[in-house]
Amino acid sequence: MPPSSIRGPLTGADLARLRTFLALAETGSFTRTAARVLRTQSAVSAQIRRLEALLGAPLFARTTRRVLLTPAGERLLPHARAVVEAAGALVAAFRDGEVVGDVRLGCPEDVAGTDLPAILAEFARAHPRVRLHVGCDLTLHLVERFEAGAFDLVVIKQDPQAVLPGARLLRHEPLAWVAARALPAPLPGARLPLVLAPAPCVYRARAIAAAAAAGLAPDVVYASPSEAGQVAAVRAGLGATVLPRRRVPAGLAVLGPGWPPLPESAICLLATARPTAAVEAFARFAEARLAAPSDPAPASPASPACPEPAAPASA
């Protein structure tokens, strides 16, 4: 990609496109990238097209299973990393002085496997002297360990109508019925086999309550604290489950009209009452990036990272 192929100066928008380019190069999936950068899949595609137009070369080749870098994309990769890292270092040099310290963060599996990696990487570039210690667990256990002083911050899933006192509401999470294949709406009185997390879990509570309200007979045939285990059971056809609509795994079907309506879940943040400068810096950083995007994010494949969440009136 010779310099003469660049069709104009780089702008702030191009920096965002380079970050999206790096995410797509890493995930090989537009849906996973969209979930990671908190944009719609169409917005990710538009960013890549504009970057390709700027550089005058195709950066990715699409196959039926994966998105692969072209030779031009391979050449861009180290330069894109250098530009993004330099931008992070520049911001770190002037933002709030140099923050030093430790941050102990607790997080559920599904958030840890989707939103968190990009947030941690970006924060580490901006604040290289902050040491991050991350633990994944059930939300119920995260809250207990937070109250015992084991964490400075915890991300938790909650019922929006029963958020724990002191928790900051970050975003609402629309939910969907999901199965291995498209299924007709169940008839009133029918048994409904379900694959869910153990109680207490907001997704479990939503599924059972919605099924019962529709006159169905919910039957939890498979319970696993791991989202990866739940997804595997659904793929095997054992039953239906409930997942965030924005990240339904590839190959599973979102069940449509006639299925009982599902109330939303909520993503919240609990922070220690006396945060250090490092903890407060990460709390502000994570809060801004976990907040709901302006456009609904698309579905993305599940990413098993840690055990799956559950909590009091929450997951």
pLDDT tens digit sequence for 38-54: 788 898 999 999 999 99
Q: Output the pLDDT for position 89.
A: 66
Residue-wise pLDDT tens digits, 250-274: 999 999 889 999 999 889 999 998 8
Q: Is 81 exposed, middle or buried (0-12, 13-18, 19+ CB in 10 A)?
A: middle
Strands (E), the chain: 60-62, 67-69, 101-107, 130-136, 153-158, 168-173, 175-179, 191-196, 217-223, 241-244, 253-254, 265-271
pLDDT for position 47: 92
Quote the mean pLDDT of the chain: 83
pLDDT at 314 over 80: no
Asked if the model's pLDDT at residue 105 lies above 90, the reply is yes
pLDDT (tens digit, 9 = 90+) per residue, 116-161?
Answer: 888 899 899 888 989 999 998 878 889 999 998 999 999 998 888 8
Q: Are strands 265-271 and 168-173 parallel, antiparallel or unpaired?
A: antiparallel
- Sheet strand arrangement including 175-179: 241-244, 175-179, 253-254
Give the pLDDT confidence of 271-307 residue by residue, as tens digits: 998 889 899 999 988 888 887 443 333 333 333 334 3
Q: Please tell me the predicted confidence (pLDDT) of residue 297.
A: 38
Residue 204 has pLDDT above 60, yes or no: yes
Task: Answer whether 0.85 is exceeded by the pTM.
Answer: no
Residue 12 pLDDT exceeds 70 = no
Q: Which two tokens stand for residue 41?
A: 């899949």
CA distance 160 to 272: 21
Q: Do 222 and 179 form a contact (C-beta atoms < 8 A)?
A: no
Residue at token pair 């009452």: 273
